[in-house]
Amino acid sequence: MSASTRGAELKLASIQMVSTAVVSENMATASRLVTAAAHDGAQLVVLPEYFCLMGLKDTDKVKVREVLGSGPIQEQLAIIAKENRVYLVAGSIPLEASDPNKVLNTSLVFNPDGQRVERYDKIHLFGFQTSTERYQESETIEAGDKPGIFEITVNGQKWTFGLSICYDLRFPELYRTLGQVDCHIIPAAFTYTTGKDHWEILLRARAIENQCYVLASAQGGTHQNQRRTWGNTMLIDPWGTILENLPEGEGFISGVLCKDKLNEVRSKLPALAHRKL
């Protein structure tokens, strides 16, 4: 492989967890899996939504919320990124909101020096109710209002990433607002009920319609609070092909972003250039 070819590729990894109600346990698991992914050659690593805490009650996350730029969760994330020399997309952590009884559900991005380079506060808040399940994120989460996007340069090659979280996946207008990116990163904790029917098709649709890679990092198992998450952490290419997938349980997937693949899809079917609205 020539140096020019390597420069047009980026190796990344996406972690799947079955997070517990104990922050220290989850941080240790996250650290171990990021280290394993980095040893496997990943230059960018993604953690799932709620990687640091899947509480016994929805209000548990309010008790551990942090101020942006300060707190043990953020300090440990910076150390993990720096020690492993990776870009780290920390799925979501609870940050201080204007309402003292709520949090912002926030993705933070750290560079290989451990510096925070981007944040994204989840915009769309999940609501779902059946005879056996009820979720209402707006009761404990304050919605964000700004899309998230970041760029990195590796081996002289620039890569652009869009940020979204879980329920955002159902709102294609968010991805259109972000414009053309190389990869959309989507940390999630999809429920088993909705995930089995909608997860894969929505992820592949976002990849196909935006002609970019999609890297999803999921919670995948039954948690201490008896909530079951769908898992299926996956990497999808711009044609909608699933390249890697981890159905359930703790672990990680890895794969490569390729500029040639992006250019091939966008040149043979220039749908983004054909947009009218």
By annotation, the residues acting in catalysis are 49, 122, 166
What is each CA distance from 59 to 103, 137, 175, in whole angstroms? 9, 10, 30
3-state SS assignment for residue 160: strand
Query: Exposed/middle/buried for 69, CB within 10 Å: 0-12, 13-18, 19+?
Result: exposed
3-state SS assignment for residue 165: coil
Structure tokens at 27: 């941080």
**Can you tell me which residue has the tokens 């700004």?**
146
**Can you tell me which residue has the tokens 């309010």?**
62
3-state SS assignment for residue 109: strand
Task: Name the strands in the sheet holding 148-154, side by side, starting at the edge strand that comes first in the sequence.
Answer: 148-154, 157-163, 183-188, 213-218, 233-236, 242-246
Q: Report the alpha-carbon distance of residue 87 to residue 77 in Å, rounded.
A: 11
